[in-house]
């Protein structure tokens, strides 16, 4: 017979793991900013905010390098806590042809395991500008 405490213990332990990794248990905050490379806006770049054990939030830069992050279709922002940030651009179109004017972002910013970028998302509005 299963103890009545087992589900609560599992919930407690899983929330403790999330908190230990630096991310809250589901609280979100607004995240926006700009991305520039070599002093120019990085256009059409994907800006990923990733928190261990959670789905990543994504923003796409506009013509002026500005982005706003969304966690899902209905949820804006990113998970509160320490996030690894990745920035990448598309270099090839669906037909396999190079995209004219596309700028390749260095691996140290686009690889989730190697990214040197991070952001400590706090409650409220957050602005993170990335200049490379």
pLDDT in tens, 61-120: 999 999 999 999 899 999 999 999 999 998 877 887 777 777 889 889 988 888 999 999
Residue 30 and residue 59 in contact, taking contact as beta carbons nearer than 8 Å: no
34 neighbors 63 (Cβ within 8 angstroms): no
Is 0.85 surpassed by the pTM of this model? no
- Region 24-38: mean pLDDT is 89
Average pLDDT, the chain: 83
Q: For residue 69, what is the DSSP state?
A: -
Q: What is the pLDDT at residue 24?
A: 61
Confidence of residue 49 (pLDDT cuts 50, 70, 90): very high
């Amino acid at each position: 017979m299963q103890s009545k405490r087992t589900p609560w213990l599992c919930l407690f332990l899983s929330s403790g793991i999330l908190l230990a990794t630096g991310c809250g248990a589901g609280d979100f905050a607004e995240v926006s900013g700009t991305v520039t490379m070599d002093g120019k806006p990085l256009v059409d770049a994907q800006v990923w905010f990733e928190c261990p054990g959670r789905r990543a939030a994504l923003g796409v830069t506009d013509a002026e390098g500005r982005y706003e992050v969304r966690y899902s279709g209905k949820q804006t922002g990113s998970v509160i806590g320490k996030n690894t940030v990745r920035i990448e651009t598309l270099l090839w179109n669906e037909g396999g042809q190079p995209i004219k004017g596309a700028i390749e972002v260095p691996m140290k910013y686009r690889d989730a395991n190697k990214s040197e970028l991070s952001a400590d998302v706090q409650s409220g509005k957050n602005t993170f500008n990335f200049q490379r």
